[in-house]
């Protein structure tokens, strides 16, 4: 069952496109998508979660998909506030937050700002924490300033060419594409729904936000789920460090899987996710 909401006014600061699936009395699982996609990017997870009896909430981040596209508010404090407002508006408790890629930053920032009151557990999937940008005090950051500047320049100059290249790398391990062209084209269409300001500002946010101070506040059961061959958010500089920063966290690394491992390796991804959720 799908229950679609576009909510604003006194409840949410922006109108977010929110889709719900599964029984209303199921334990809530909130899916936070990666950049520059939308909640539709979870299409290979939603049936498995719904079938297991969970109440699944997949929303489009502000500026992306079918959500409102304001001219500002693309820093992680604001994005975490959007998430908090969503949980309050839907009166969700005992929630598992699943943050993919950029969405992992919202999970980390939400936990440090709003705490565990509504949260049962969290998942960092191919996620950007603890800190992507390589700096003098973050030598293990996997994103150089030169690469970040190149990405911004390419997105500004030719969106279509950028998204074509980005989705190829997103779903590849080395030079080997791990999805069929249908899946890649679906991702490109989701990318094209993004507002340009939102895409640029969120690119800056996920590339330059330091979550090292947020991760110690994550004191709920945690799964770190990553593709071994992720070339977009490499495991060594992200997932491995997040796992080390959160005592007691569980780690699942999917062999030969790219950044978009939820699409390329849905069986392995869903198995790990469901095993974690059922505990």
Q: Say whether 157 sits in a helix, a strand or coil.
A: helix
Task: Give the whole-number percent of the chain exceeding pLDDT 90.
Answer: 95
94 is catalytic: no
For 2-277, which CATH class?
Answer: alpha beta
All residues at 6 or more sequence positions from 72 whose CB lies less than 8 Å from its CB, including other chains: 201
Which of the following is catalytic: 41, 67, 81, 101?
Answer: 101
All residues at 6 or more sequence positions from 238 whose CB lies less than 8 Å from its CB, including other chains: 127, 128, 129, 130, 132, 142, 226, 230
Q: Pull the structure tokens for residue 129.
A: 């924490």
| Stated pTM of the model | 0.96
Which pLDDT score, from 0 to 100, does residue 12 have?
77
CB 40 within 8 A of CB 190: yes
Which of the following is catalytic: 33, 226, 259, 265?
Answer: 259
Report pLDDT digits (tens) over 243-265. Answer: 999 999 999 999 999 999 999 99
Which of the following is catalytic: 230, 238, 249, 264?
Answer: 230
When pLDDT is cut at 50, 70 and 90, the band that residue 8 belongs to is: very low
136 is catalytic: no
CB 126 within 8 A of CB 230: yes
Which pLDDT score, from 0 to 100, does residue 9 have?
44
d(CA 166, CA 224): 23
* Residue 45, pLDDT above cutoff 70: yes
Report pLDDT digits (tens) over 77-135. Answer: 999 999 999 999 999 999 999 999 999 999 999 999 999 999 999 999 999 999 999 99
All residues at 6 or more sequence positions from 173 whose CB lies less than 8 Å from its CB, including other chains: 227, 229, 231, 256, 257, 258
Where does residue 139 rank: exposed (0-12), middle (13-18), buried (19+ CB within 10 A)? exposed
72 is catalytic: no
């Amino acid at each position: 069952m799908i229950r679609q909401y576009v909510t604003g006014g006194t409840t949410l600061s922006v109108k977010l496109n929110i889709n719900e699936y599964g029984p209303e009395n199921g334990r809530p699982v909130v899916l936070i998508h990666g950049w520059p996609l939308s909640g539709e990017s979870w299409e290979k997870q939603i049936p498995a979660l719904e079938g297991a009896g969970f109440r699944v909430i997949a929303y489009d981040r502000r500026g992306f998909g079918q959500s409102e596209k304001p001219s500002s508010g693309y820093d992680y404090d604001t994005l975490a506030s959007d998430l908090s407002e969503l949980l309050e508006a839907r009166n969700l408790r005992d929630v598992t937050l699943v943050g993919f890629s950029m969405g992992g930053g919202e999970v980390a920032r939400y936990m440090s700002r709003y705490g565990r009151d509504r949260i049962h557990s969290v998942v960092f999937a191919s996620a950007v924490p603890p800190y992507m940008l390589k700096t003098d005090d973050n030598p293990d950051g996997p994103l150089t300033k030169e690469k970040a500047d190149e990405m911004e320049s390419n997105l500004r100059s030719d969106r279509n060419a950028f998204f074509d290249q980005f989705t190829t790398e997103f779903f590849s391990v080395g030079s080997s594409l791990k999805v069929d062209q249908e899946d890649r084209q679906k991702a490109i269409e989701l990318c094209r729904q993004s507002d340009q300001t939102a895409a640029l500002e969120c690119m800056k946010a996920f590339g330059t936000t330091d979550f090292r101070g947020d991760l110690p506040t994550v004191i709920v059961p945690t799964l770190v789920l990553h593709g071994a061959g992720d070339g977009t958010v490499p495991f060594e500089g992200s997932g491995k460090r997040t796992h080390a920063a959160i005592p007691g966290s569980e780690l699942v690394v999917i062999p030969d899987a790219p950044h978009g491992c939820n699409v390329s390796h849905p069986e392995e991804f869903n198995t790990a996710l469901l095993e974690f959720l059922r505990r």
